[in-house]
Every structure is written in C-alpha cells, then in structure tokens.
Amino acid sequence: MPAVFVLIWSTGFIVAKFGLPYAPPLTFLSIRYILSIVCFVIWIRLVRAPWPRDQRQWLHLAVAGILMHAGYLGGVWIAVKAGMGSGLAALIVGLQPVLTALWVSWMGPSNVLGRSGPEQTRVAPRQWAGLVLGLGGLLLVVARKFGAGGEVTALTFGCEVFALLSITAGTLYQKRFLQPTDVRSANAIQLGAALLVTLPFALLESESIAWNPQFLGAMAWSVLALTLGGSSLLYLLIQRGAATSVTSLLYLVPPTTAVMAWLLFGESITFSTLLGTAITALGVSLVVRPVKLKST
C-alpha cells in the first residue's frame, strides 16, 4: 500500500502540468470533485457502505476535506498553472513530514493525536538539525529559480506554502478528530465540502475549457487514480498508522515526481536541484525517524 501510494501521489503533480494548459485550475478541480463524488456515491450504493451517524463526524470530515482537498490541491494547482514546475511543487509540499513531526513533538501526542503513549514530547536536537537541512535544501533549489522564467514568484511560492500548511493541518486534524469511518463515505463528504469552497472561486475564472483528449485524459486520471485511489489510500494510511510515519512517505514523492517531469516534460534536473533534493530528503528523514527515549 505505501509503495502504490507514493507512485500514485507523485502523478498528481504531473497531471496538473499535463491538464492545466486546457483549463483554469479551480474549474478543473471543481469538475474533478463533482465526478469523484458521483463515483463514490455509486460505489457506496452498490456495496451499501455506511454513512457516519454522528453529526460531529460529518463536521470533522468536512473540515479535513476543505484543508486536504480545497486548500492543498487549490494551492498546488494555482502554482503550477502560474508556471511552477512539477518537481519543485512536489519538493516544497514534501516538507509536510517535517512540520508534522515537529508539531507532534512540540505539542505532545496526547494533545495533537488524541492519545497518550511513550512517544517523545519534545523536539530532539537531531530533529532541529533535520529541519535546518530540509529548509536549506529547499532554499538551495528555490533560490536559483527565482526569476528564472517565472517558475518561482511571490504568487507561486505563496500558493505552495499555503498548500503545505493546508495538507499538514488537514492530516493532523484528521488523525486527531476523525473516528474510523468507511473510506468511501468519508471521501464523498470531504469532496463535497471541498467543492462548496472551491466552486465559488472557480466561477470567477474567465478562461474557457478546451475539451480535447489531453484534458479528458488528465481528468479521468485525476478522478479514477488520484481521488478514488490516492486519496482513499491516504485516508486509510492515516487511520491505520501514526501521523508522522504516514507523512514520511511523502518525502519519496519529490524525487519520484522530478524523474517523471524530466521524462515527460523535459524539466531540467541540475546538480543544484539534485543536491537540494538530497539534502531535503536527508533532513526529512532525520525529523521523522523515531527518537529513542532514555530509560529511567
């Protein structure tokens, strides 16, 4: 499941690059949400999957959906539409494991995840070193691309940071407040909430849709593979594993995406990009690796 998730999740940045020349970002996402909801509702009816009975779970699912779909995907797709490369977009949001691990360590697992245990309750020096390395590797890549063909601007970088904060908050919120729920009904509720937030902004977009095979192929992959497959796998992984160990999978996404973008779009992989990505991955690994507690 983790290996399949990494491969599917990496294609999300590729699909954004592939489909956005033919549609505005929020309009594309709104159509994707509508089609995905239809697929999930049909699936739910066929297998008679249960819906949450507690109204508070509906609310928690809606909040998590707004953060993990509307906030995260909206930020990434606007940034890619504005000119950011797929590999760099994946690298920036790939810092999510760092933010997740530091927040859990800082606040304590009982406060953040709703459970107690022997996990660490402070940020270890090794994790601070990992944070510095992760940010340093990211800056090494980003600094060389500011003003280089418009890939990194205040708009694209701001949207990526917004997406990073949204997916981090959504992951922690889901792990803290959501009870075990059928993944199909949970996704339908989350996507419905994301649609309510995204659609009003999509209606303000003036660009028209080019209904061609490229657009239809990107939409089909977005719905069937990314939403029905990738989002469902992420939901299951968060429910079955610790938040930090699950999000640590995401530091494998940037290099996977970079290779895909190089093969499909010819995005350059320079020495500084490789070095920055390697440093960032090392920093993330230092942060998410469990800290051994000293016995007393």
At 136-157, the pLDDT tens digits run 777 777 666 665 566 788 899 8
- The region, left, alpha or beta by phi > 0 then psi within -120 to 50, assigned to residue 149 is left
Report how far apart, in Å, the C-alpha atoms of 23 and of each of 139, 205, 215 are: 31, 10, 8
Classify residue 108 as exposed, middle or buried by CB count within 10 Å of its CB (0-12, 13-18, 19+).
middle
Reported as a single tens digit per residue, the pLDDT across 109-129 is 555 555 544 444 456 777 778
Give me 18's structure tokens.
Answer: 């592939």
Whether the pLDDT of residue 201 is over 70: the answer is: yes
pLDDT mean over 237-265: 69
Alpha carbons 245 and 108: distance in angstroms, whole number = 15
Give me 239's structure tokens.
Answer: 């429910």
The mean pLDDT value of the chain amounts to: 81
Alpha carbons 212 and 112: distance in angstroms, whole number = 45
Report how far apart, in Å, the C-alpha atoms of 180 and of each of 55, 57, 186 are: 14, 10, 9
When comparing pLDDT for 251 and 40, which is higher? 40
Reported as a single tens digit per residue, the pLDDT across 17-37 is 889 999 999 999 999 999 999
Reported as a single tens digit per residue, the pLDDT across 59-83 is 999 999 999 999 999 999 999 999 8
Alpha carbons 273 and 141: distance in angstroms, whole number = 5
When comparing pLDDT for 48 and 254, which is higher? 48
Name the residue type at position 230: G
When comparing pLDDT for 234 and 194, which is higher? 194
What is the predicted pLDDT for the residue at 295? Answer: 45
Alpha carbons 70 and 177: distance in angstroms, whole number = 19
Q: Give the side-chain half-sphere CA count within 13 A for 251.
A: 30
Whether the pLDDT of residue 222 is over 70: the answer is: yes
Name the residue type at position 263: L
Whether the pLDDT of residue 92 is over 80: the answer is: yes
Whether the pLDDT of residue 296 is over 50: the answer is: no
What is the predicted pLDDT for the residue at 188? Answer: 95
What is the predicted pLDDT for the residue at 293? Answer: 47
Alpha carbons 181 and 248: distance in angstroms, whole number = 23
Band the pLDDT of 58: cuts 50, 70, 90. very high
